[in-house]
Amino acid sequence: MPAAIIARLKTAFLMLPILWVWTPLATAATALKAAKTPDETAKAAAELAKQTGRSLELVQALAVAGSRQSSAEAALVQASAAKAAAPQAAASAQTRSKPTALAIQAARDAVQRAEREKAAADKVLAEKRAPIDAALARAQALKTEFDALSAESKRSGASKGGLASAAPAGP
């Protein structure tokens, strides 16, 4: 295989973890946009927040791993360059450091994008939270009113003698 094709394949392989991070985020964001009820919205927002946190962790882990790999490759390049007997090792390490540097930059970009998306998701969640909380408060108020009316109805029925006293007298 030509070296250019191999380099492209390595770069594409290094981009797979970023796709694993992006796909769940996009799916959760789409579900949030498609939510029609407050319950669906709350569930979708919770899933988006969960996926955002998970994606942020994955991207940060990828960035740390890439940084460690980059540091290790830099040490290998220095050791190989110091040895006059191993010039091919230095060339090999330099070849491997380019896709790693690209992956690190992509990971940094993904971290920034994930942080922006998390902020957007938090904003959407905050916007959806107020109507949901208002609906829950209204439902609770209606339940309290219903309970009070039910209790009053029972007391009223008991003070009038119940259903037996309301029946007409016999013939």
Position 5: which residue type? I
Q: Which of 3-17, 26-40, 50-64, 142-156 has the lowest mean pLDDT?
A: 3-17
pLDDT for position 20: 59
At residue 92 the predicted structure's pLDDT band, cuts being 50, 70 and 90, is confident
Q: Cβ distance 41 to 128 under 8 Å?
A: yes
Pair of tokens at residue 67? 């940084």
Q: Is the pLDDT of residue 101 over 70?
A: yes
At residue 25 the predicted structure's pLDDT band, cuts being 50, 70 and 90, is low
pTM, 2 dp: 0.33
Q: Mean pLDDT, the chain, as a whole number?
A: 75
Q: Cβ distance 31 to 76 under 8 Å?
A: no
Q: Is the pLDDT of residue 145 over 80?
A: yes
Q: Cβ distance 118 to 52 under 8 Å?
A: yes
